[in-house]
Chains A and B, each alone.
Chain A
C-alpha cells in the first residue's frame, strides 16, 4: 500500500530495507506453527490448571451440579489426604536415595569408560542399553525378577547362605519402594553416565599433566582436578534427576499402582488417579499446581547455580 503511494521518481528502496519487513513477516510465519501448538497444548492447559485448581470441575460435568468456585478447599483436602502426603513423601524419599546413588554410580561408570583402554565402547554400549528400553518393559521384567520364587530372592539367599529372604518385594510395604528405586537406578544411570562422560572429556588434559608433575596420585587428581571441573555437570545431573524423581509414574503404575496401602504412592500417580481415574479434574489440577511449584523451585535453583558459576569464570 505504502509503496504504491510513493512517487515513481523516488528510487526503489534498496533490497536491504524492503527485505527487513518481509524478513519480520517470514519470521512470524516460520514461528507460527510452534507458537500456536505451544499455546494450545501447553500454555492454555497450564492456565487452566491454575484456574481449575480453585473449582470442583469434573471431567464429565453433572448438569444438575454446576462447577463451582471452591476457594482453597482442594488444597486443604489434598494435604489432609494420607495418600497424597504419602506420595509427596515418597518423592522426597526417592530424591534423597536415588539422586546421590545414581549420580555417584554414573560418575563412577563415566570415569571407568573414559580410560584409554581397549573395549571401552563395548562397555559403554552395555551400560547405556537400559536407557533405550521402555520403562513399561523394565517394570514388567523386574516384576518377574522380584517374584517371591524369582531370581533376586535366590541370589540374595545364595550370597547370604540362606540367611536373607525370600521377600515378597512388591507386596511388602517397607520393601516395595526401595525395590522400585533399584530398577529406576538401573534404567537411568546410563543416561547420567553419558552426560558425565561429555563433562570429563571437556577437562583440559594439561590440568592432569600439571597434577602429575606435582606428584598428585590418581585419588588426589580426582578430588583436586576432576571433581571441581565437573561442578557444572554435577549440578545439572543432580537437579535433572531430582525433577525426574518428582515425575515418577510409569514403573509404579505398572508394578504396584501405588500399593500396597499407598506404600509406593507418588505425586504423579495421585494426580492421574484423581483426575483420570476419579474424573476429579479440579482437584487433580490443584495437585498438579503443587507438583509444578516443586519442579519450578528445582529448575530455578538449577539455573541460578549454573549462572553463578558462569559469572565466576
Chain B
C-alpha cells in the first residue's frame, strides 16, 4: 500500500493513516463481538465428541475445530427426531405465506394507489391504523377463535395445522403500506397507454405494475420470509405435536429434553441458521435495502 503513495507521508497523511488504522481496529473488535457466537456454534457442531465440546467450551479452543471432527451431531439430529419433517413444515409455511402474501397485499395496495373508488381514503386510513396493532395483542383471542374454526374435510379446529400458521399472516398492513408507497411513485403514463389499448385492470397490474415493482416485491418477500422462518410464539401456541410444528418450536422442545447434548444442539441450531446465512450472503444488498425501507414507516 505504501508503494502507491509516491510522496512521503506529510503530517496530514500520517494522521489520516493512523485514523484509518484505529478505525479498522475498532471495526475488527466489533466484528469479533458480532461473530463469535456464530463461529462458536458452527465449530462446536462439527466436534463429534461431546466430551470435546464440553472441554473446549471455556477457552479459545471453542473456536478451533480440533479433535474428532465430522457430521456425527448432524446425523444424531436427523436420527433422533423427525428433523426432516420440521424442515418441510417450516419451508412449506414460509413459502406459502410469502407467495400468497405478496399477491394479496400488492393487489389491495394497487387498488389504493391507482384506482378511484368511494371509500378509498377511508380504507387507506384503516390500513395505516392497523399497522399499530401488534399481532401479540390479539394472539390469545385468536387462539380462542382458531381453536373452534372448521376446515375442509370436517376438521373442527385449526390447531396442529398448516393453515393456522399461514392464513393469519398473509394480509399484513405494513406490507400493504410498503407496496402502496412504491406504487404511488410509479409514473402513470404506461398504464394510461395500456388503458387506451383496452387492457383490463388486472392485466395492467400484472404486465405493467409487477415488472416495474421488483424491488418492493423483493423487500416485502425478504421481510415476510424472515418473519415466517423465525416465528416462534404463535406456532408454540398452536402446535401440540410434530405434525405441523416448525423448526423453531422443534428446536425449543429439543432444547428442553434431558440430557442436554450441546454438540447436537449446536448442529440443530446450525442447520436452522446456515440456509438463511447463505441466502443472506447471496442477496445481501436486498436484505439491507429491505431493512432500510422499514425506517420510512410512519
A25, closest chain B residue (CB): B117
Known: A236-B295, A302-B298. A134 touches B272 (CB 8 A): yes
B49 interface contact, C-beta 8 A: no
Q: Which residues of chain B are near A151, meaning CB under 8 Å?
A: 40, 57-59, 62
Q: Report if A258 contacts B (CB, 8 A).
A: no
Contact between chains at A306 and B298 (CB < 8 Å): yes
Name which of B134, B140, B233 has the most chain A CB atoms within 10 A of its CB: B140
A247 CB-CB contact with B under 8 Å: yes
A288 B23 Cβ-Cβ under 8 A: no
Pair B281/A30 contact, Cβ less than 8 Å:
no
Q: Is the interface of A mostly helix, strand, loop or mixed?
A: helix
Q: Cβ of B294 < 8 Å from any Cβ of A?
A: yes
Task: Give every chain B residue within 8 A of A20 (Cβ-Cβ).
Answer: 116
Say if the beta carbon of A222 comes within 8 Å of chain B: no
Q: Which of chain A's residues 4-28 have a Cβ closer than 8 Å to chain B?
A: 19-20, 23-24, 26-28
Contact with B along A220-236 (1 / 0, CB 8 A): 00000000000001001
Contact between chains at A31 and B141 (CB < 8 Å): no
- Complex formed: what's the CA distance from A199 to B79 in Å? 48
B248 near A149 with CB under 8 A, answer no
Q: Does A271 contact B (CB under 8 A)?
A: yes
How many chain B residues touch the partner (CB < 8 A)?
91
Q: Which chain B positions have C-beta within 8 A of A216?
A: none
**Contact string against A for B residues 256-274, beta-carbon threshold 8 Å, 1 for contact and 0 otherwise:** 0000001001100100110
Given contacts A136-B232, A150-B57, A285-B140, contact A129 B277 (CB under 8 A): yes
The reply to whether the CB of A49 lies closer than 8 angstroms to some CB of chain B is: yes
Scan A102-123; emit 1 where CB is below 8 A from any B CB, else 0.
Answer: 0000000100110101010101
Q: Beta-carbon contacts of B45-73 to A below 8 Å, as 1s and 0s?
A: 00000000010011100100000000000
Contact size range, A: 35 or more
Give the shortest distance, in Å, between A165 (CB) and chain B (any CB).
11
Q: Does A141 contact B (CB under 8 A)?
A: yes
Residues A145 and B40 in contact, CB atoms below 8 Å apart: yes
Q: Is B280 interfacial (CB-CB < 8 Å)?
A: yes
Binds B, one of A68-76, A78-86, A168-176, A188-196: A188-196
18 interchain pairs (CB within 8 A)? Answer: A26-B202, A30-B201, A33-B108, A34-B108, A37-B167, A128-B291, A132-B226, A132-B276, A133-B38, A134-B273, A136-B248, A136-B252, A154-B59, A186-B33, A249-B233, A253-B232, A253-B252, A302-B298
B→A interface (CB under 8 Å): 20, 23-24, 26-27, 30-31, 33-35, 37-38, 40-41, 44, 54, 57-59, 62, 104-105, 107-108, 110-112, 115-118, 120, 123, 127, 130, 132-145, 147, 167-168, 170-171, 173, 176, 195, 201-202, 205, 226, 229-230, 232-233, 236-237, 247-248, 251-252, 255, 262, 265-266, 269, 272-273, 276-277, 280-281, 284, 287-288, 291-292, 294-295, 297-298
